[in-house]
């Protein structure tokens, strides 16, 4: 029984007329242009995605800094409010000072 792998059929080289060769060449050129356009589109999308990721990383870093600053303010205010040794008027001044800083940073 013959081995299928060794007896695979091969196509005989076809004889193209000049018009067939021209048609084949046109199809190949169109396909090459389509592949080139597709790769450019893919590369553009990849670059846009990378740029967006980079921008989001910067935005995230800025937000982390802002969150840390706000956490520090919350700790300070908690300590200020829990401190019994400070005059109530001093509390008001300190709170007003922090609220004024908030308005300047926004």
Asked if residue 14 belongs to a domain, the reply is: no
Let me know if residue 9 belongs to a domain: no
In a domain, 6, yes or no: no
Residue 12 placed within a domain: no
Could you tell me if residue 84 is inside a domain? yes
Q: What percent of the chain has pLDDT over 70?
A: 78
Average pLDDT over residues 7-36: 79
Confidence (pTM) = 0.57
Contact 76, 87 (CB under 8 A): no
Range of the domain at 82: 26-105
Least confident segment among 7-11, 19-23, 72-76 = 7-11
- Residues 101 and 29: their CA atoms lie apart, in Å, by 65
pLDDT tens digits for 51-103?
A: 999 999 999 999 999 999 999 988 988 888 888 787 888 878 888 888 887 65
Q: Is the residue at 47 inside a domain? A: yes
Is the confidence at residue 22, as pLDDT, over 70? yes
Total count of domains within the chain? 1
Which pLDDT does position 11 carry in this prediction? 56
Determine the pLDDT at residue 5.
55
- Tell me the per-residue pLDDT of 59-72, one tens digit each, with 9 for 90 and over: 999 999 999 999 99
Model pLDDT, residue 64: 98
Residue 53 falls inside a structural domain: yes
In a domain, 95, yes or no: yes
């Amino acid at each position: 029984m013959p081995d299928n792998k060794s007896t695979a059929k091969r196509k005989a080289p076809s004889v193209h007329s000049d018009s067939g060769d021209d048609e084949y060449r046109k199809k190949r050129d169109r396909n090459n242009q389509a592949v080139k356009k597709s790769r450019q589109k893919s590369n553009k999308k990849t670059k846009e995605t990378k740029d967006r990721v980079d921008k989001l990383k910067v935005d995230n870093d800025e937000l982390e800094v802002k969150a840390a600053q706000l956490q520090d303010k919350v700790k300070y205010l908690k300590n200020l409010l829990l401190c019994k040794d400070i005059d109530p008027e001093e509390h008001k001044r300190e709170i007003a000072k922090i609220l004024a800083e908030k308005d300047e940073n926004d």
